[in-house]
Structure 1
Amino acid sequence: MHKITLVCSVHRENGRCTVAELLKILRAISPEVIFEEVRPTDFDAYYKSRQTLEAQAITKFRESESPRQVPVDQFNDNEATVDLRFTMDRIFDVVEGTSQTYLNLLDERETLTHQQGFQYLNSVVFEKTTESIEEIEDLTIRATGNPDLIRGLQCWREAMKRREAEMVRNIYEYCRDHAFDTGVFLVGSAHKASIVKAIRARDGAEAGLIDWSFTYVDPN
């Protein structure tokens, strides 16, 4: 059975979320395979620029180890997606201007990410806070009665669920065809709750293929 640890990250350094800390986590797990939130078509350019926290940490990890790197994201940034992102910006503005609780939760999440780093990003507390933030977005936008915003938020949620389910599906496909013992799935923390749900949904149908770990790996 393949053992894969889910490690949620951010794409830019923020307080204790640093390249050095993620490198420690990778070394503690010592994965043979690293599944990455990167499109195969973008992979070479992604590593030529090496601008993200994850890319920098993996590059340093590869100085002493030789993991297989597997890009699993297939999200297509087409014209429709650009329009959706514009609508989401409007949605965020509306919710931020309506709910003080929403602003407080955003501030809390940012502060704890800065203070606690990867330990917080991979905690149940982070997952529940993100779910609360999304619930407020849903309730606030429904309350506006604005069909464009309501439809836009629904389309965005559905697009993200498809994206996350596709990443998980690609991991399972790789595991069916390749032998290895230990892997890591590096993904942006905003995807955590949905990724875990997608994993649990698929794991029921393919029990015995992957032993998933959602527990934070303390590298210290």
Structure 2
Amino acid sequence: MYEIIYISTTHKQNGQCNADELCKIVEQIHPEVIFLEALRETYSNNQEHLFSDFGILHNKLEIEAIQKYQYKSTFKYVPVLDSGMSDVFNEKYEIATQNIELQRKIENFNVLSAKYGFQFLNSDVSIQLQEDMRKLENIILSDTALNKDAINSIDLYEDEMLDNIYSYCKTNQFDKAVFMCGVAHRKSIINKVEKLNKNKDITLDWNVLRF
């Protein structure tokens, strides 16, 4: 059986959300495969060389955690993005974050992340706070073409990651893996993986990390 533990993360160090704490979680799971929300070029051959030969760590939180886990175990690293987020998402975010109320919600989320770390990111509270921010974004952007395009681009972005995970599993065998993905996608990914096994040729045992 292919077991995949889904872990919500953040891409930058922030208090208790740091590479050491994430590495501890991964070490407890002891996966043979690590799927990551990243492009292949995010961790280039040169960066891999700098780490293996000189111990220079990556600036992306999840990859630094993976590098530290490499000292403890062998595994297969699999980036699951073919392309980055669409420009329309960045346009939407730039407009929405000019709103003071949204700025306060983002700051509150970041404070809780720094204080409680991955226990907060992988909780129902984080899902609710992210949902509150999404609702406010939709109010700010209203029924605009930009908002619709951004929502659609996020949906395709998530589908691409999951499709690549299923494709990998068709041609590779393992017992346990983790999938690390930014917390903003948590609710949507959980909903999608609950339905995916019904429509795919291979059945995966998805387990969501929860605190």
Band the TM-score falls in, shorter-chain normalisation: 0.7 to 0.9
> Which of 33, 57, 63 pairs up with 2:71?
63
Residue correspondence of structure 1 range 160-175 to structure 2 within 5 A: 160-175=154-169
User: What's the C-alpha RMSD, in Å, of the aligned pairs?
Assistant: 2.2
Rounded Cα–Cα distance in structure 1 between residues aligned with 2:195 and 2:104: 32
Change (3 A) 1:57 1:208: same
Residue correspondence of structure 1 range 174-189 to structure 2 within 5 A: 174-189=168-183
Q: Number of matched residues?
A: 203
Q: Deviation above 6 Å: which 4+ runs of structure 1?
A: none
Structure-1-length-normalised TM-score:
0.83
Segments of structure 2 that go 5 or more residues without pairing to the other structure are 51-56
Aligned residue type for 2:64 = Q
Q: What is the aligned partner in structure 2 of residue 39 from structure 1? A: 39
Once the two structures are superposed, what CA deviation does each residue of 1:104-153 show, in whole Å capped at 9, x if it has no partner?
Answer: 432331221111100010111111211121011112322xx7xxxx2112
Mapped contact 1:3–1:183 kept (Cα < 8 A):
yes
Percent of pairs with identical residues? 27
Mapped contact 2:19–2:61 kept (Cα < 8 A):
yes
SS at match of 1:13: coil
SS at match of 1:110: helix
> Which of 73, 96, 115 pairs up with 1:91?
96
Mapped contact 2:89–2:153 kept (Cα < 8 A):
no
Rounded Cα–Cα distance in structure 2 between residues aligned with 1:136 and 1:161: 18
Aligned residue type for 2:140 = T
**Deviation at residue 50 of structure 1 after TM alignment:** 0.9
Rounded Cα–Cα distance in structure 1 between residues aligned with 2:150 and 2:119: 28
**Deviation at residue 26 of structure 1 after TM alignment:** 0.8
**Deviation at residue 87 of structure 1 after TM alignment:** 4.2
> Which of 184, 187, 191 pairs up with 1:197?
191
SS at match of 1:72: strand
